[in-house]
Structure 1
Amino acid sequence: MLLKILILSIVLCLVFAEDYCTSHLFKTHSDLMQFTKEAPNLQYAISGKFKALHCCAFGYRSIEWLKDGVPHPWPGNLSTFIIYPNSANQTIYTHNVNGGDKGNYTCVLKNDTDIIIHPIQLEVFEPGFTPDDPKITYVSKDVTARIGNYVRLFCEAFVDKVNLPDAESQVVWLKNGSIPSGNNIRIDAVSRDNFTIGSYLIIDSINEEDFDTYTCRITTPGKVETIAVTISKYTPYYLNPNPVPLKNILLLTIIASLIILTFLILYKSFGLAARVYIKDHSILEDYVPYITDVLIVYSSDDDETFVFMLMNVLTTNFHYNCKMIKLPNYIENKCASIEEDITNSYAVITVLSPTTMQENWTAKSLYAALKNIEHLGRKHTCIVLKELPKCEMVKNSIGETLETLVNKMNVIQWRRRQEESKFWLNLRLKLPPIRRSYCNNPS
């Protein structure tokens, strides 16, 4: 009698092992190599009990099983699992699992072009082992679907076998605390190896109200485990053929405007000083041979107070080697008598004041005076001690005015009080870099 029961048990286990990869298969319309149902990566077994491992697939040419990197067949001390040939090598099993069967199994699917490698970790417990909590072997991930799509969720766990009439272990799917129902919904409970139970939630054609969060609840005596899975509605994303990122453009415009405004403020406050600093720290090849740094030319009719103050600042504060020349009526003579001094000087400064012009401070007379000293060229800077007249319009035969002539020449107006520092910066910008050797050894 016991023999008949044993034979019947073995037959039932083998039938179950053979049927596992033929039930609850994915709906697929592709001929590509793929799994035909969910493939758990973690499995559990009780020593002395029947156990089967599965690699349910389609479109393969061969299936190879390995344990800890060693291909099947295995010696008894490595694994007692054998291939069940009636399942097209998709299943390996053992009637009496033992501690040596524990390890990492690998299913390798191959066809002419592709390879799929599926690892399975098997844990084996001693006889009489009772798990403290349900051990989850597989739970579906969140799903995105369109209206009318086929959707299925699967949840599976290894649980303790209960031999009580009023208690049982189960896996159920819930929606808002209740079992989902509807003409398009079905729930299939499954069991394998007596200790591994699971449940399918299948929606044949999903409706708007089916998009929600579902909970897999695994219940054993005294223990409850829940896992949430969300089915969300697919929202198509349409590409704009002519996108105009107004927000980005506005943001970039504001940033660029702030950068430009900051630059202008900094330049207005420190730009002139920075240019002078750069110039003073530059090296000019044509600078060293000159005998005089700055030649100051003024009229004998001018008050020498400003000229001596200018000389003192340039020599004391800025360490320039300066020379002063006072000429009678130098404008009329076009500075012919100082050509040699001009040649030996890096820069020339002429001073124009109302006294120089015999109090004839008009656009016409200033234009004539500037034209007389224009020949001094790029080395020349003209300091005017009074604001230039703006009302009169004087043009020569080619349309040149006093304003255009002033812009073309280095003309600087003497400023006092608040704008005096700006005057000195403008003047130093026209003069040579400070002689470092002269500053260190002013002999």
Structure 2
Amino acid sequence: MNMWRFLTLTLMASVAEVLGTAGQYCSVNTFTSNTAGMQFTKEPVPTEFGFEDKFKSIHCCVKGYRSIEWFKNGVPYPWSAGVSNLILYPEAANQTLYTGSATRSDSGNYTCRISNETHSDVHTITLDILDKPIDRPRRMFISKDQWVDEGDELRLFCEALVGKSYLADALSDLRWRKIWPNGTEGDLLPTQNETRTHRDDVTDIRGSFMHVARVTPLDFGAYACVVHSNGAVVTSNVTVYRRVLEKDFDVVVCWTPVDEEVVRGALLPTLTLKYKYRVHELQLSTMPDNWYNEMSPELARCRSLLAVVSPSQYTAQQLLEALRQLRALPLSPVVVLLQDLPKLKREAKESGARLVEVVRGLRLLAWRHVHDRAFWRELRPLLPLPPSHYQHDNKTNTTQNSADSVQNTGSLTALV
């Protein structure tokens, strides 16, 4: 009897310890927003996993609400044992449900409905109680594609039930990776901070936050949440796009006469006809000394800037001047290089500037040919998405002129 009492007290103490930690779930890794009103304070995870006879908790993390109600498969709380064993944890302001010993019957759809004086909102969590550990990872949450401005804060989150490692050398891990233009995965940049998490109630649930305090042009593009477990790999992708206020054109494309064939024969028709961008064309003087003055008046009407440059037509000093003129513009340009950029360290040093300072803020993309899918994969996240209300059938004069020029001069290639 004493042994049975000891085991019971030990189990109760263990549950109390886990419950205390689980009750703090809605207090850690919360959004940094200070805005008022009713809102979720961290990512609302739609899928949860637990194991039979083990502790399990689920959460609805919110603030600014007056009331919170829970339902399982439409049945309001409290529930009978035949519906669910989960109960409220009042110390977590009713944002947490838990059970010390989950059963398969606890599986189902749990909905929290939050309300204040003006409106209400709901979030549904699908809980699956498993009878044994899994071999292959199961994703629980992945952030949606993001649209942000330069200087904004960026936060991505991914979470999964990873599974136990059965082999001594098996990798069991979840982390964020940067997807490079050629489609390969690489490490995050030093300014992209990753914080890994695990659940106290189910230690096999791993998560990772990727946070950028102030977005720069280097942060736009694609990312992968990669989960490894017992040789299985699950990858989920997120793309971070540039968000710009509505203007007359989505992108202004600038070039010199020497690059007209590539621009009119390939770049413009692909941007306008395939990707539905509203394009403004601007032909520049061959020499770059006055580019800033030529481009600046046009930028107020455009959401982004794409400059096409042929390094081979310039001396080293002229090319450095071209990069300086582009860097000084109020819109951070995407610079498409039709040939490889030569080594300019000596010339930059002689002119009193380091090359890294000259090219800082410029997104340099190498052009190979219009069928180079890696080029378009890298370019499109750097440009704002075309407005959803824009109908390409009602083309602007600029777009129509671009299409006419393809018919008159002959396109270099079919659209990619």
TM bucket, shorter chain:
0.5 to 0.7
| Aligned equivalent of 2:128, options 120, 123, 128 | 123
Q: SS of the counterpart of 1:16?
A: helix
Give the superposition deviation at 1:80: 0.4
Query: 1:287-320 CA deviation, whole Å, 9 max, x = no partner?
Result: xxxxxxxxxxxxxxxxxxxxxxxxxxxxxxxxxx
Give the superposition deviation at 1:10: 1.5
1:10/1:219 CA distance change after superposition, 3 Å: same
Query: 1:210-237 CA deviation, whole Å, 9 max, x = no partner?
Result: 1121110011111111111111222333
CA distance in 2, matches of 1:60, 1:11: 27
Q: SS of the counterpart of 1:100?
A: helix
- Does 1:206 pair with 2:215? yes
Q: SS of the counterpart of 2:117?
A: coil
| Aligned equivalent of 2:188, options 176, 180, 192 | 180
What are the within-5 Å matches in structure 2 for residues 75-114 of structure 1? 75-114=80-119
Give the superposition deviation at 1:164: 6.0
Give the superposition deviation at 1:197: 1.2
Q: Residue in 1 aligned with 2:161?
A: 158
- Does 1:190 pair with 2:183? no
CA distance in 1, matches of 2:230, 2:72: 34
| Aligned equivalent of 2:244, options 235, 248, 252 | 235
Give the superposition deviation at 1:168: 5.0
CA distance in 2, matches of 1:36, 1:159: 25
Give the superposition deviation at 1:30: 1.6
Give the superposition deviation at 1:8: 4.3
Query: 1:350-371 CA deviation, whole Å, 9 max, x = no partner?
Result: xxxxxxxxxxxxxxxxxxxxxx
Amino acid at match of 1:216: C
Amino acid at match of 1:225: V
CA distance in 2, matches of 1:249, 1:158: 52
The answer for unaligned runs of 5 or more in structure 1 is 251-443
CA contact (8 A) 2:152 2:214 kept: yes
Q: SS of the counterpart of 1:141?
A: coil
Q: SS of the counterpart of 1:15?
A: helix
Give the superposition deviation at 1:165: 5.7
- Does 1:29 pair with 2:4? no
- Does 1:139 pair with 2:142? yes
Amino acid at match of 1:221: N
Q: For CA contacts below 8 A with separation 6 or more, give which structure has more relative contact order.
A: 2
Q: Residue in 1 aligned with 2:397?
A: 246
Query: 1:370-421 CA deviation, whole Å, 9 max, x = no partner?
Result: xxxxxxxxxxxxxxxxxxxxxxxxxxxxxxxxxxxxxxxxxxxxxxxxxxxx
Give the superposition deviation at 1:120: 1.2
CA contact (8 A) 1:39 1:55 kept: yes
Give the superposition deviation at 1:83: 0.3
Query: 1:252-300 CA deviation, whole Å, 9 max, x = no partner?
Result: xxxxxxxxxxxxxxxxxxxxxxxxxxxxxxxxxxxxxxxxxxxxxxxxx
Query: 1:153-188 CA deviation, whole Å, 9 max, x = no partner?
Result: 001111223366644522100114233132x32111
| Aligned equivalent of 1:68, options 63, 70, 73 | 73
Computing the radius of gyration from Cα coordinates, the structure with the larger value is: 1
The answer for unaligned runs of 5 or more in structure 2 is 1-5, 180-184, 250-299, 302-394, 402-416
CA contact (8 A) 2:166 2:230 kept: no
CA contact (8 A) 1:63 1:108 kept: yes
**TM-score, with length taken from structure 2:** 0.55
CA contact (8 A) 1:145 1:233 kept: yes
Q: SS of the counterpart of 1:21?
A: helix
Of all paired residues, the percent bearing the same amino acid is 35
CA distance in 2, matches of 1:4, 1:167: 37
What are the within-5 Å matches in structure 2 for residues 35-50 of structure 1? 35-50=40-55
Q: For the aligned residues, what is the CA RMSD?
A: 2.7
Q: Residue in 2 aligned with 1:438?
A: none
CA distance in 1, matches of 2:107, 2:117: 32
